[in-house]
Structure 1
Amino acid sequence: MSFLNLRKTKKEAPEPAKKLPVREAAVKKSAAVQSASNSAVESGAMYVVLRHPRVTEKASAMSERGAYVFGVSKTANKREIAKAVRLFYNVTPVKVRVVTMPPKRVFIKGRIGFRGGGKKSYVYLKPGQKIEIV
């Protein structure tokens, strides 16, 4: 009996793992990411993307000109926002602008804290289309 099989004469070569070409791997990954991001809008959960309409003086003035302002999820992109508006309000957006708002510093009981920032989007509609925001 050999000590820890150090005198073993047969060596087995490990089988090389098959590698996918880079293109196919990238396509598979991007398809998975795209399907995951669109799943919220396609499943009817548009409230995940569109949080709430922002009702301010500036927003009400812009709505008269066909632009509407919404608070949206931090992870939402322009395509998801446009799709959610199209499905929820039955209007076709012409363009979507997204603004990232920074967190604000606040003082609470003598300590520094932060109020979370977020994202808001400006959705521009075709002339003649309106969204009723109550």
Structure 2
Amino acid sequence: MSHANNPNQKFDEGRLMQVLVAPIVSEKATMAAEKSNAVTFKVLQDATKYEIKAAVELMFKVEVKGVSVVNTKGKTKRFGKSVGRRDNVRKAYVMLKPGQEINLGGEAA
């Protein structure tokens, strides 16, 4: 039986396609990209670092140096009388090996 934290584990390709929810484009994410060659993604709540690494390598054909994960609790927001809550977000900072690059903008470089 394979352990969940095994880096050599084979992942289901369909699952890997769902792990990365969306790229995060913010001032902080851009700073991380420039400083440490990291790309920031919003990922599934139950995604592991190994799954995230495998998903990025599969989808973007790049080599990943490391993955840091941050869980952000959703803020409570008011809309008039009603009180709502934003969703909890799990962010992955994916550090790429030197010379590797992911172009999320879509424009030609």
Matched residue, 1:49: 19
Deviation at 1:118, TM superposition (A): 1.3
Deviations 1:73-107 (A, max 9, x none): 11101000000000011111111000001011011
Aligned residues: CA RMSD: 2.2
Q: How many residues align?
A: 100
Q: TM-score, normalised by structure 1?
A: 0.66
CA distance, structure 1, for counterparts of residue 43 and residue 78 of structure 2: 26
Evaluate the alpha carbon distance shift between residue 32 and residue 124 of structure 1 in structure 2; reply closer, same or farther with a 3 A threshold: closer
The percentage of aligned residue pairs carrying the same residue is 35
CA distance, structure 1, for counterparts of residue 3 and residue 97 of structure 2: 32
Deviations 1:44-65 (A, max 9, x none): x534100111001121222223
Matched residue, 1:12: none
CA distance, structure 2, for counterparts of residue 84 and residue 38 of structure 1: 9
Choose between structure 1 and 2: higher helix proportion: 1
CA distance, structure 1, for counterparts of residue 92 and residue 3 of structure 2: 26
CA distance, structure 1, for counterparts of residue 33 and residue 71 of structure 2: 20
- Aligned pair 1:117/2:70, yes or no? no
What is the aligned counterpart of 2:51 among 59, 76, 80? 80
Structure number with larger C-alpha Rg: 1
Matched residue, 1:129: 100
Partner of 2:50, secondary structure, is helix
Deviation at 1:115, TM superposition (A): 1.0
- Segments of 5+ residues of structure 2 without an aligned counterpart are none
Deviation at 1:38, TM superposition (A): 2.9
Partner of 1:38, secondary structure, is coil
- Segments of 5+ residues of structure 1 without an aligned counterpart are 1-26
Q: TM-score, normalised by structure 2?
A: 0.80
Deviation at 1:108, TM superposition (A): 2.3
